[in-house]
Chain A
Amino acid sequence: MQIQKKTIKMLGAVLSIIFLMATLHSCKPKDPDNPEELITTLKLTFSEGSSTKVFQFKDADGLGGGLDGIADTIVLDSSKNYHLVVEVLDESTSPTTVVSNEILNEGVDHQFFFNISAGLNLSQTYDDADTKGLPIGLSNNVVTGSSSSGTLRVNLKHQPGTKDGSQAVGSSDIDVSFYTIIN
């Protein structure tokens, strides 16, 4: 009888330890306010001499939201050499988070691709490079030709370990098409 009582006690002790361990084990997220990361804005700044033109795509509620984003129409002058700076922002936070800083830091894993539709007289060349010498696309040179219109697609590819200059690899972090007019 003594042994049995001991056993029951032991069994009880073991079970309560297991139970305690499980209850103590975080049953809730460690940081319940772990905020959602959003990319709300893609900003394109075209500068030529002292004049600058800013166009953006804004999706205020981010990827998870049901609202469609709105893209500006890009209007550029013909036969000009522009310097194009690309910025990626999260404007849902205060102050605004500049996501492009991180793209720059992880340049070896990211690249912007610019797809220009046929008929649009515009050409783009990269003006930056990552530590391995491949372009990132945050800073670019854009040359416009004669008056025309079409679409300019800006596609940021996330290519961890596979970046080789090819657009087909990786997944799209940003993919926005702007209607573009060259006057």
Chain B
Amino acid sequence: MLQWPLKKLNFATMLHKSCKIFFGLLICILCYENSMAQVKHPCNIHFEGDVLDIETNSPLEYTTIKIKELNLVTQTDFKGYFEIKDICPGNYTMQLSLNGYEPITFTIVIQSNLHKDVFLSRSQNILNTIQVASTKKTDLLNSNSNKLSQKDLDKKAGENLGTILKQLPGLNTLNTGAGISKPVITGLHSIRVVTINDGVKLEGQQWGAEHAPEIDANSASIIQVEKGAGALQYSNEAIGGLIIIKPAPLRSLPGWNASINTNISTVNLRGGISGMFEGQLKKTPGWSWRIQGTLNKAGNTKTPTYYLKNTGYEERDLNCMTSYHKNKWKLNASYKIYHQHLGVFAGAHIGNLTDLLIAFKSPEPIDSDGFRYRIKLPSQKINHQTISFGLTYQINTRNKLDFNYSFQFNKRQEFDKILGRDKGIPAIEFYLNTHGVGSNWHFVNNHATYVSNLGLNGQWQNNYYSGSYFIPEYNQQSIGIYSIHKITIKRLSVEAGIRFDSKWQEITRMKQKNVHLKHQWMGIAANIGAIYQFDSHLSIDFQTGTSWRAPHAIELYSEGVHHGAASFEKGNSTLKVERVYNVSINMTYSQGDLYQAQITVYNKYIKNFIYLQPRTTPVLTIRGAFPAFDYKQTDANFKGVDLYFKIKLGKGFDITEKTSILYAKDLKNKNYLTLIPPNKIENSLGYTFPIHKKIDDCRIGINTTYVARQNLVENNQDLIPVPKAYFLIGLEGSFEIKTTKEPIQIYVEVDNLFNKQYRDYMNRWRYFANEAGANFSLRVKIPLSSKD
């Protein structure tokens, strides 16, 4: 067994140490401030701009910008935007650097407020020109994907991936209590949502609605949802959507950076710490590395009136990345380990239908407890490890080749006290090993009006189980080839892609017996999208496409009682391929930072939609009666509208509004589908104000969430009535403490301010218990040091 060394560290000591460091730093800053001579001059010039790729016009995030005279270092954000406030008129030497790009240095004369766009060219470019333009370029390329920036991620540090993604318009989560949440895109989740983490397609036990994505959200710097042709580069299986998670690029210049992210929450007394250390030695230019680790520990969650017994969890993650860049070659390697141990809520771990009905009738869970961190049976342990290697060869300005290999090991153990089994032996274990290879040829023409990606992905996978039967053992191979092209003609940008996949599966063991059942599927996925930019404010994006997925082994051959769900599920080996046809229109209107409005309308028609149909009679076992479900296929339709706008009202006030509406129907049976997110409206009002010279971006806000009752359900479709609509109020606050280098960021948040008792339709525990009560969270991000 691999043992992560940090395991031995006492958590409390860690927290204590980080607090010490934090307060120590705070004192240092205050001392530093007092010792500074307070010279006053009219230095209030605002200098900003965008850094863009000279070929593709795409924004370049994390470009390091240095202004020699000011001894100032900053970075561009995810939109390639940078700003420097309160500087004096004068001549400045600017130095820009980014991994993979030619560093540039130039002098700039600043007399008044200024916006400059800077274009960088890729390393080894023959045309080593520098262009400085002063017109604002709008990004034509990425309008049908939604992104979360580093700041959005910092704001929710310590939360799981689903909760972080919920910040995006139209995104929902399917929860199992407070600890597990799965992203829901356009009403679809689990195996219909593909996650790409640092270029590797996540292969975990994603078939389970209570199995969270095995990802340390703290390692990410950008999370985006890709709905256009770009998704075809990774997979054909993204029926719901594709989530791309990217860590920040490694350092491009010698020096080192470090940061510590800490967070606490009161509702489950969660403490989390995440540290990052990265660098590049002067002796070994081109070789960069980073180590990032996360520890999270939470106890029983408190609802307004009681604690949820055995709902604590622990998470330990480690991410190591390194890259070596020389001439036209770039080699990178990474190793990631994700480890989670979590308790299964005692009140939801039900023996059979009779127990279930008793639990429903009880206003509070019968099995209750106070607060504790200790995780007891039933519990689950998840271990996910990823190794990946990548090689990039930049042939010339226009052509680039990429090769990659990855290996993923996933282990999921479910512990339960079963009669006849020793303690400490899991009731059921799942093992999934995945090898992946891929190659890509990226081409871009001289004026970046034509970009193409051609490539292939291959995958070898085997799945094992031990203990009770639920999902068969299988070997699976797949290969996919794709071709994606983008042409930009003046204001119109058209992107089209096509992908062919073939998948072979052999079921080798089922219900403790060796078998040889073979399946093969193949199919084509395609997407075409067009973006038209009317002017600098308004753009329209139209996307249409089709994609497919082979039925999962669980849908074909599962047979047994789902752990903790008190339901008997039976697979269907005659299931056919599920195919989606989608159309979406997105209209975006923006006026810089002042006004942003976005409306997305979509329709998804899914042929042979795989779902669980309840049987009329329960299955009778020695453990009692269990509601039984069979995997069936139908045709389904999902349509929805997502609205988003943000306005700066002036005098420091801002308003944000998000609405999502979704309507889903089973077309064959003329029924509504289950577990479709109800309609939701979120609003927030913020006020940004200056408070002190050393404190920046001080903002306080109030937010409201209204979730409607899901009325689109059939009678008798569910065991208990659908929860009522609810309305929550929350508070948020944030500020930055200026330091000579990067600022210290502080976020404060109160969720469910009035400690309201409610249940959410998208929480699998809604049958048994209320949602979490009032929760206060504090998050502090400290950049420890950064020097060259």
Chain A interfacial positions (CB closer than 8 Å to B): 3-4, 7-8, 11, 15, 18-19, 21-23, 25-32, 34-37, 39-42, 57, 59, 62-66, 68-69, 88, 90, 97, 99, 102-103, 109, 155, 157-158, 160-162, 168-176
Cβ of A39 and Cβ of B1 under 8 Å apart?
no
Binds A, one of B459-467, B530-538, B656-664, B710-718: B459-467
Cβ of A27 and Cβ of B420 under 8 Å apart?
no
Chain B interfacial positions (CB closer than 8 Å to A): 1-2, 283-284, 287, 320, 322, 324, 333, 335, 349-352, 354-355, 358, 362, 366-367, 376-377, 385, 387, 389, 407, 409, 417-421, 425, 427, 429, 431, 433, 464-470, 511-512, 559-561, 570, 619-625
Q: Give Cα distance in the complex from A30 to B389, angstroms.
A: 28
Q: B284: which A residues are within 8 A, CB to CB?
A: 3-4, 7
Q: Give Cα distance in the complex from A69 to B429, angstroms.
A: 26
Q: B409: which A residues are within 8 A, CB to CB?
A: 22, 25, 27
Q: Give Cα distance in the complex from A65 to B626, angstroms.
A: 12
Q: How far is the CB of B292 from chain A (nearest CB, A)?
A: 15
Cβ of A34 and Cβ of B352 under 8 Å apart?
no
Cβ of A21 and Cβ of B468 under 8 Å apart?
no
Cβ of A64 and Cβ of B470 under 8 Å apart?
yes
Q: Give Cα distance in the complex from A18 to B349, angstroms.
A: 38
Q: How far is the CB of A28 from chain B (nearest CB, A)?
A: 6
* Other A-B pairs beyond A29-B464, A99-B419, 17, CB < 8 Å: A11-B287, A11-B333, A19-B387, A21-B2, A25-B385, A39-B623, A63-B621, A66-B570, A68-B619, A88-B419, A103-B419, A158-B419, A161-B376, A170-B367, A172-B351, A172-B623, A175-B623
Q: A176: which B residues are within 8 A, CB to CB?
A: 622, 624
Q: How far is the CB of A149 from chain B (nearest CB, A)?
A: 20
Q: A11: which B residues are within 8 A, CB to CB?
A: 287, 322, 324, 333
Cβ of B512 and Cβ of A63 under 8 Å apart?
no
Cβ of B431 and Cβ of A22 under 8 Å apart?
no
Given A7-B284, A169-B367: A69 in contact with B621 (beta carbons within 8 A):
yes
**Which 9 pairs show the lowest CB-CB distances between chains A and B?**
A175-B624, A172-B351, A171-B351, A29-B466, A64-B560, A34-B466, A37-B420, A68-B620, A7-B284
Q: How far is the CB of B45 from chain A (nearest CB, A)?
A: 44
Q: How far is the CB of A165 from chain B (nearest CB, A)?
A: 14
Q: Give Cα distance in the complex from A18 to B337, angstroms.
A: 11
Q: B469: which A residues are within 8 A, CB to CB?
A: 36, 64
Cβ of A15 and Cβ of B333 under 8 Å apart?
yes
Q: How far is the CB of B339 from chain A (nearest CB, A)?
A: 12
Cβ of A31 and Cβ of B466 under 8 Å apart?
yes
Cβ of A172 and Cβ of B421 under 8 Å apart?
no
Q: B322: which A residues are within 8 A, CB to CB?
A: 11
Residue in chain B with minimal CB distance to A159: B367
Q: B464: which A residues are within 8 A, CB to CB?
A: 28-29, 32
Q: Give Cα distance in the complex from A96 to B539, angstroms.
A: 72
Q: Give Cα distance in the complex from A176 to B1, angstroms.
A: 42
Cβ of B619 and Cβ of A173 under 8 Å apart?
no
Q: A4: which B residues are within 8 A, CB to CB?
A: 284
Cβ of A8 and Cβ of B324 under 8 Å apart?
yes
Q: Give Cα distance in the complex from A171 to B559, angstroms.
A: 21
Q: Give Cα distance in the complex from A57 to B623, angstroms.
A: 11
Residue in chain A with minimal CB distance to B324: A11
Q: A27: which B residues are within 8 A, CB to CB?
A: 409, 431, 433
Q: How far is the CB of A170 from chain B (nearest CB, A)?
A: 7
Cβ of B283 and Cβ of A22 under 8 Å apart?
no
Cβ of B622 and Cβ of A63 under 8 Å apart?
yes
Cβ of A66 and Cβ of B433 under 8 Å apart?
no
Q: A28: which B residues are within 8 A, CB to CB?
A: 431, 464
Given A4-B284, A19-B387: A42 in contact with B622 (beta carbons within 8 A):
yes
Q: A162: which B residues are within 8 A, CB to CB?
A: 367
Q: Give Cα distance in the complex from A90 to B283, angstroms.
A: 68
Q: A66: which B residues are within 8 A, CB to CB?
A: 559, 570, 619
Q: How far is the CB of B355 from chain A (nearest CB, A)?
A: 5
Cβ of B623 and Cβ of A63 under 8 Å apart?
yes
Cβ of A22 and Cβ of B407 under 8 Å apart?
yes
Cβ of B559 and Cβ of A59 under 8 Å apart?
no
Q: B468: which A residues are within 8 A, CB to CB?
A: 36-37, 63-64
Residue in chain A with minimal CB distance to B429: A29
Cβ of B335 and Cβ of A22 under 8 Å apart?
yes
Q: Give Cα distance in the complex from A41 to B387, angstroms.
A: 47
Q: Give Cα distance in the complex from A163 to B420, angstroms.
A: 19
Q: B560: which A residues are within 8 A, CB to CB?
A: 63-64
Residue in chain A with minimal CB distance to B377: A160
Cβ of A173 and Cβ of B419 under 8 Å apart?
yes
Q: Give Cα distance in the complex from A92 to B409, angstroms.
A: 33
Cβ of A18 and Cβ of B387 under 8 Å apart?
yes
Residue in chain A with minimal CB distance to B361: A168
Contact pick for A69, options B287, B407, B570, B620, CB 8 Å: B620
Given A32-B466, A66-B570: A174 in contact with B619 (beta carbons within 8 A):
no
Cβ of B559 and Cβ of A99 under 8 Å apart?
no
Q: 8 A-B residue contacts at CB 8 Å?
A: A7-B287, A29-B466, A39-B420, A40-B622, A41-B622, A99-B420, A172-B352, A175-B622
Given A25-B1, A57-B622: A37 in contact with B419 (beta carbons within 8 A):
yes
Cβ of A64 and Cβ of B511 under 8 Å apart?
yes
